[in-house]
Amino acid sequence: MEIQENIINKVALSGLVTFDLADLAPIDELVIYDIKENLFHGLILREKDFREFVKEHDWSAYSGKNVSITCTADAIVPTWAYMLLANRLEPYAKMVVFGDEQSFETIYYDRKIAKLDLEPFRDQRLVVKGCGVTKIPESAFVALAARLSQVARSIMYGEPCSTVPIFKRKG
């Protein structure tokens, strides 16, 4: 006697749409440009020396890379110095921001999420994937939830088989 079991994938039939923020993760190299290397005795920025460095440096080495400009030294760096670096990096780098790696990730995801086409998610039941190999900053989940709340029918966090409700549109 043969017993045939019908296995039903309830998750597949649920109509849930999974959104994985890892799909938006940066693929280009991140370079941290620490202006402390340009400080005289690690303390002060000398304008003449700095401008000479900026003029002579090969900025093409940053082509196609993401660059985050920072200063890890306990020094006062004038704002114009950061602006000058950004100006020189802009033609080459894919993205230029101020801050450390965490700041870069926050800005990167904010920009990606702000550009998302929301129409595919209109009136959908969404699950924002919560576990994965790629480390996603919490700020990205916050930005995504705020953005998707504008159009989604509901938003859950986790995996389709085990979710935490975040939002459900009334009516």
40-78 tens-digit pLDDT: 998 999 999 999 999 999 999 999 999 999 999 999 999
Residues of the chain with pLDDT under 70: 1-14
Between CA 34 and CA 42 the distance in angstroms is 11
Residue 17's DSSP bridge partners are 126
Q: Can you give the pTM of this predicted structure? A: 0.84
The closest alpha carbon to 134, from 3, 22, 5, 2, belongs to 22
Residue whose pair of structure tokens reads 């702000």 in the numeric block: 114
- Give CA 42 to chain center in angstroms: 31
Q: Do residues 154 and 168 lie in contact, with contact meaning Cβ atoms separated by under 8 Å?
A: yes
Beta carbons within 10 angstroms of residue 116's beta carbon: 15
